[in-house]
Structure 1
Amino acid sequence: MTIYLIDDDSLGNYLTETLLRLENVGGEICTYESAEEALHALLRRPEPPRLIFLDLNMPVMSGWDFLDALEPHQPRLLGRCRIYILTSSLALADMERARSYELVSGLIHKPLDREEIRAIQAELSI
């Protein structure tokens, strides 16, 4: 299983990756500090990542821009790739907007914790 962590905060990526490893979420964990770089990597892969943890507020390409760029690829990704938005925002508008994307499985307030990882593992049966 491949997991993408997309966040311009390198410390946040490190902490999330460490927690995923402590919770025995197996597989390859790829971290990206640029949504644009992650998008290019995802589109080059024959198999999409099983999980993506996506920050919303990033320079150049935001998490929203990333989700919009995935729209044409949605048939290839649906049912094979789950995206969880990781955000520090408590804005109701962000929650509502996240629900409008079929590829988004949930919105998680930073920082990601053990219970949320376990819930995702149970959902995916991993």
Structure 2
Amino acid sequence: MYTVLIDDNATSLFLTERLLLHEGLSDTVNSFQSPPEALAFLLQQVPAGRVPQVILLDLNMPLISGWDFLEMLQRHEEQLQGQCIVYLLTSSLTPADNARAQAHPLVTGFLSKPLNKEKIQQIRDHVP
């Protein structure tokens, strides 16, 4: 399985990637600390049919927030639906963010940081 991980925090990025690999959720993790780089990568992959099965996206990032990222990615909703699930990873426990995530057509779930085995199982249960 192939996962794209986007988080502006280098420590969180490192630990989450290691946990995903250790728990066997992914064989390949493409990690990005820069949302613009992640978006450029995905916009090359999606039209070529190389869609990741999972995208883990931090909400609170500089330059491009997780919400902005989703807006840009939504143009490719048709290619992503049924092929890829998006989970928002955040330290925010704001009910408004959770409600917004539940209403977004690309978002499968909203998980608080840090990721753990139980949350990885929750992701695994939804992988297409």
| TM-score, normalization by structure 2 | 0.92
- Which residue type is aligned with residue 76 of structure 2? H
Which of residues 37, 43, 59 in structure 2 aligns to 1:56?
A: 59
Q: Distance in 2 between matches of 1:60 and 1:122?
A: 32
1:88 aligns with 2:91: yes
What is residue 35 of structure 2 aligned with on the other side?
A: 35
Q: 1:86-125 to 2 correspondence within 5 Å?
A: 86-124=89-127
State how many pairs are aligned. 125
Which of residues 78, 83, 105 in structure 1 aligns to 2:81?
A: 78
Q: Distance in 2 between matches of 1:26 and 1:69?
A: 25
Does the 8 Å contact 2:85/2:126 carry over to 1?
Answer: no
Calculate percent identity across the aligned residue pairs.
44
Q: Distance in 1 between matches of 2:59 and 2:115?
A: 14
What is residue 13 of structure 1 aligned with on the other side?
A: 13
Moved over 2 A (4+): 122-125
Residue ranges of structure 2 left out of the alignment (5+ in a row): none
Tell me the alpha carbon deviations over residues 5-48 of structure 1, each in whole angstroms, 9 at most, x when there is no partner: 10000100111111111112232101001111111100101211
- Which residue type is aligned with residue 89 of structure 1? S
Q: Distance in 1 between matches of 2:43 and 2:2?
A: 14
What is residue 26 of structure 2 aligned with on the other side?
A: 26
After superposing the two structures, state which structure 1 stretch, 83-92 or 41-50, moved more: 41-50
Q: Distance in 2 between matches of 1:78 and 1:114?
A: 25
Q: Determine helix, strand or coil for the equivalent of 1:4.
A: strand
Residue ranges of structure 1 left out of the alignment (5+ in a row): none
| TM-score, normalization by structure 1 | 0.94
Q: Distance in 2 between matches of 1:111 and 1:14?
A: 12
Aligned-pair CA distance for 1:79: 0.8
After superposing the two structures, state which structure 1 stretch, 77-86 or 25-34, moved more: 25-34
Q: CA RMSD in A?
A: 1.2
